[in-house]
Structure 1
Amino acid sequence: MTRPSPALRSMQLSLFDDSAPAPRSLMSLPPDAGPMVSVPAPRVDSPPTPTTAAPRLAPAVFRHPQAQREARLQGHVVGYALKRARRRSIGFVVGIEGLSVSAPRWVGLAEIDAALAEKSDWILRKLREQQERQQRLLAAKVDWRDGTTLPYLGDTLIVVLDPRAGVTQGGAVLNTDATALPGVPRLTLHIGLPHTATPEQIRDAVQSWLQRQARQLFETRCRHFAAQLGVQYKRLSLSSAQTRWGSASADGSIRLNWRLVHFAMPTIDYVVAHELAHLREMNHSPRFWDVVRSVMPDFERARGSLKDDVLPVFD
């Protein structure tokens, strides 16, 4: 393995710090710089305006909890948090709480309103996406009780409270019913807890078991792909990050999110291969994606599942 240069030794790359790899024919296309707001307003550094307008929806109200101002965009009321900052342009961020706007101190409110109107399609689309995501997250919140279900390695796992289970196996035993009928979950996780256990006790026991399974599985897959890629990693650790599935450092350290254990094996293998590939290419260049493709020719499909699925909420 080629020894990284001193400049690289402090670098760390994480999965989804990068954008999705474009098809090879599009790799050379420059990014869209976005439209300009008329003088005296500065350039707006939000994503470019979509080529097609957002569909007209029934009037709605979107309000940031720290909103100081409101804007009426295409009939919708948008309460947004405005921050004055030492910057040269107006910036828009649509997060879970709503719309935040950062603007230079010298830009007037009329110019900010004009920039909001110009970007109204993008803002409303992102606000709707966040609203829908919150609804999916609420639906994914786990009801911690006997008989609750969870995704595990792309399958469905049923949690069973069984005081007799797992006395010598960390308090949990996985049973597999190979004869289960189609559509009927075949995996049951027997947790060594009484039926009077609290939701918090059940959650902690299940999460502890899942993390143990994740470590064992990740170690096996890291050894497999490290041999294929001709690299060596020094340390593997688990992560609980909310926005990163994995990261790699030039010193050979690999971090993988334990929640990957909910996904099917192709998705787990993609993340493992992605991070180990950084030990050869500490970047997201076309050469890096060629390294990933050398061990996972159809990695794009597995990568897509990471964005499409909503994982169970452990709280």
Structure 2
Amino acid sequence: MKLLRHTQPDPNQLTLQLDFFAPESTEPVRESAAPPSPSPSPSLQRIPDLLAPTIPTPPPGRPHDGQRRIQLGEHLLDYALLRSKRRTIGFLISDEGLRVTAPKWVTLGEIENAIREKQRWIFTKLNERRERSARRLQPQMQWRDGATLPYLGNDVVLRIRASQSLGISHDEAAQELVISLPADASEQQLKDRVQGWLQARAKELFAQRLPVYAEKLGVTYQSFALSSATTQWGSCTADGRIRLNWRLMHFALPLIDYVIAHELSHLREMNHSPRFWATVQSIFPEFEMAKKALRDSAPETLPIF
């Protein structure tokens, strides 16, 4: 099968992948403003938008060793300052909080002015980190009759029926997944049955959605397969082989479509350059919202199989 490609791939970058969590990049101070995001289509109304952040407050007293503190309006912000040979001031948000990296010749006053200019971005990212950490502490799904399983953005209720004949069926009207298992079946047997069902549905759905976006882009992929990767939602090789994580079936269809559009766009641009993101946006205008929703969905909050 002939692979249509508009640009030659970078020979040093044969596979492009979409990670569960793209690392928070160190953001320069004087960067150009991003264009306003387009209004979401009705299909994306269920994706959580960026809410007004709740400002994290540092503990009372002096900041921890190696950290500095700045007053931003009514709020205090602790941050770590790292001097380096870089040419611009950069910000990095991690589980430890805010880290500012600045050239040795930049004064503390200039650094604090830069923080004030970027305070909305900083507080938003800190709030996202805190919310993600809170979701990790939520109790995991219990594998039993009556438990709920995230499926295509909604919850389906597991109904376990004791039977010697194995079977599984989805009642869409009742939003139930009926699993027939022997009365003495183990929890792992239940997990295996549900995982097998999810993977079968994933194969069907991906096979339907891939051609839709391939046609929009004017590209042809060689093949696709399911992935069980623990850190990637999808990947694409230069010769057009697509891999998509079956656990995407936990999410709403727009998020699945975003990953598919993302991977197929690599057949036009085998990189993550501005031209690549423009390609994604041309067929999936709401990609920024979908990307954020996926990034905020910690693997720890998904069912463990």
* TM-score, normalization by structure 1: 0.61
1:95–1:144 Cα change, 3 Å: farther
Assess if the C-alpha contact under 8 Å between 2:56 and 2:127 holds in 1.
no
1:173 to 163, 168, 174: 168
Alignment partners' CA distance in 2, 1:117 and 1:7: 41
2:198 to 200, 210, 228: 210
Alignment of 1:60-139 (within 5 A): 60-61=57-58, 68-74=66-72, 75-105=74-104, 112-136=111-135, 138=137
CA RMSD of aligned residues (A): 4.6
The offset of 1:143, in angstroms, is 4.0
Alignment partners' CA distance in 2, 1:6 and 1:14: 18
Q: Percent identical across equivalent pairs? A: 36
Alignment partners' CA distance in 2, 1:173 and 1:230: 37
Alignment of 1:205-244 (within 5 A): 206-207=194-195, 209-222=197-210, 226=214, 229=218, 231-238=220-227, 240=229, 242=231
Instruction: Give the secondary-structure state (helix, strand or coil) at the position aligned to 1:272.
Output: helix
2:276 to 276, 284, 288: 284
The offset of 1:287, in angstroms, is 5.8
Alignment partners' CA distance in 2, 1:289 and 1:126: 23
The offset of 1:165, in angstroms, is 6.8
The offset of 1:304, in angstroms, is 3.9
Question: Would you say how many aligned residue pairs link Structure 1 and Structure 2?
Answer: 266
Correspondence for 2:47? none
Alignment partners' CA distance in 2, 1:219 and 1:154: 19
Instruction: Give the secondary-structure state (helix, strand or coil) at the position aligned to 2:157.
Output: strand
The offset of 1:271, in angstroms, is 3.4
- Pair 1:300-2:285 in alignment: yes
1:268 to 227, 239, 256: 256
Instruction: Give the secondary-structure state (helix, strand or coil) at the position aligned to 1:231.
Output: coil
What amino acid is aligned across from residue 93 of structure 1 in structure 2? L
Alignment of 1:147-186 (within 5 A): 147-162=146-161, 164=163, 167=166, 173-176=168-171, 178=173, 180=174, 186=175
Q: Which has the higher contact order (CA 8 A, sep 6+)?
A: 2
Alignment partners' CA distance in 2, 1:80 and 1:191: 55
1:274–1:189 Cα change, 3 Å: farther
The offset of 1:221, in angstroms, is 3.6
Assess if the C-alpha contact under 8 Å between 1:270 and 1:303 holds in 2.
no
1:250–1:101 Cα change, 3 Å: same
Correspondence for 1:258? 246
The offset of 1:149, in angstroms, is 0.8
1:193–1:231 Cα change, 3 Å: same
Correspondence for 2:303? 314
Unmatched segments (≥5 aa) in structure 2 = 21-26, 35-50
Alignment partners' CA distance in 2, 1:16 and 1:194: 40
Correspondence for 1:44? 29
What amino acid is aligned across from residue 69 of structure 1 in structure 2? Q
Alignment partners' CA distance in 1, 2:65 and 2:192: 37
Alignment partners' CA distance in 2, 1:62 and 1:205: 48
Alignment partners' CA distance in 2, 1:6 and 1:194: 57
Alignment partners' CA distance in 2, 1:59 and 1:286: 34
The offset of 1:3, in angstroms, is 5.7
For residues 25-61 of structure 1, what are the alpha-carbon distances to aligned partners after superposition, in whole Å with 9 as ceiling and x for unaligned? xxxxxxxxx9xxxxxxxx7367869xxxx98978822
Instruction: Give the secondary-structure state (helix, strand or coil) at the position aligned to 1:173.
Output: strand
Alignment partners' CA distance in 1, 2:29 and 2:288: 31
Alignment partners' CA distance in 2, 1:195 and 1:45: 64
After TM superposition, the structure 1 stretch with the greater mean CA deviation from structure 2, 301-310 or 140-149, is 301-310
